[in-house]
Amino acid sequence: MSITVITLRNDDVESPPQYSERDNVRLSGDGLPNYTQAISNDPPPPSYDSLYGRVKAAKGESTGLLHFLKLFLIIILSSVLVTILIGIFMSVPISMIVMGAYFKDDCPAEKMIPIYLIVAGCFGCAKNIVSLIQRARKTEAEREEDQKNVNPIETFVSCFLFAWFITGCVYIYRIKDEVQFEHPNNEYYCDERLYLFAFWITTAVYIIIGASCFCVCCVGCWASLCGD
C-alpha cells in the first residue's frame, strides 16, 4: 500500500480576504459598536433644536417645493422674532441701569427712583442671562422637564423683582402731582428724562398686562363661539 504525499506550495494556497476599516464597520451588525465605531470622531447628527436640524426636518416633512419654502420661511421668521424679543428683554434692563446710574443724584424729589432703576435692571439682566444660558445648553425635552420642577433661585429672584416693582410704583406715582422739572434746587425737582423714563417703563408693564388679559378674553370668547 502506497501513500501519496502532496506538498502544497505557499503560492497555491489562497490567503484570507483582507477587510478594510469600512468593511469592518459594515460587518458589525449585532447592535454593539466595534472598536472602529467606538473611536470614531465623526460628528453626531444635527440636533433638531438647531436651525439646521429644523430645516432638515422641514425638508423631510414637506410634500413639495412650495410646501418646503413655506416651512422654511416660518422657521426663519420664528428665529428672527425670538432674536428680536431677546434683544428687547436685554435692552430694557440695561437701559434702566444706565439711566439710574447717570441721573443718580438728579432727583431730590424721590432719591430712591434711580436706585430702583439700577437694582431692577441688575436683577433683570442677571435673570435673563441665566435663562438664556440654560436655554442654550439644554434640549427641548430637558427644558420641558425643567418647567415641571421649581427652581428655588429663579423663584426667589422673580418674587424679589415683583416686590421691587411694587415698591418702585410707590416711589414713582406718589410724587406724580408734585414733581417739577425746572428748578434743580427745589426739593420737588427731578430730572425730566429720568422721571419720564421711570414713569413710562413702569406704566408699560400695566399696559402689557392689560393688553394680554384683553387678548386672552378675546381668544376665549372666540373659542367658545366656535365651539357652539
Domain boundaries, the chain: 51-216
The three three-digit cell numbers of residue 5, written as one number:
504525499
What's the confidence (pLDDT) of residue 67?
A: 73
Lowest mean pLDDT among 45-49, 205-209, 211-215: 45-49
What's the confidence (pLDDT) of residue 34?
A: 55
What are the pLDDT digits (tens) for 4-38? 555 545 555 555 555 554 444 444 445 555 555 55
pLDDT higher for 132 or 188?
A: 188
pLDDT higher for 151 or 159?
A: 159
Q: Is the pLDDT of residue 94 over 70?
A: yes
Q: Is the pLDDT of residue 161 over 60?
A: yes
From CA 131, how far away is CA 149, in angstroms rounded? 15
Q: Is the pLDDT of residue 96 over 90?
A: yes
What is the end-to-end Cα distance of the chain in Å, rounded? Answer: 106
* Averaged pLDDT score across all residues of the chain: 76
From CA 208, how far away is CA 34, in angstroms rounded? 58
From CA 171, how far away is CA 198, in angstroms rounded? 10
The residue assigned the cell 439711566 is 99
Q: Is the pLDDT of residue 184 over 60?
A: yes
pLDDT band of 206, cuts 50, 70, 90:
very high
What are the pLDDT digits (tens) for 100-111? 999 999 999 999
The three three-digit cell numbers of residue 205, written as one number:
408693564
Lowest mean pLDDT among 110-114, 121-125, 155-159, 177-181: 155-159
Sequence-ordered list of residues with C-beta below 8 angstroms from that of 102, at least 6 positions apart, any chain: none
Sequence-ordered list of residues with C-beta below 8 angstroms from that of 210, at least 6 positions apart, any chain: none
Q: Is the pLDDT of residue 91 over 70?
A: yes
**DSSP secondary structure string for all residues of 54-86:** HHHHHHHH-SSHHHHHHHHHHHHHHHHHHHHHH
Going from the C-alpha of 142 to that of each of 20, 136, 137, 186, the distances in angstroms are 40, 11, 10, 56
The residue assigned the cell 418674587 is 159
What's the confidence (pLDDT) of residue 45?
A: 47
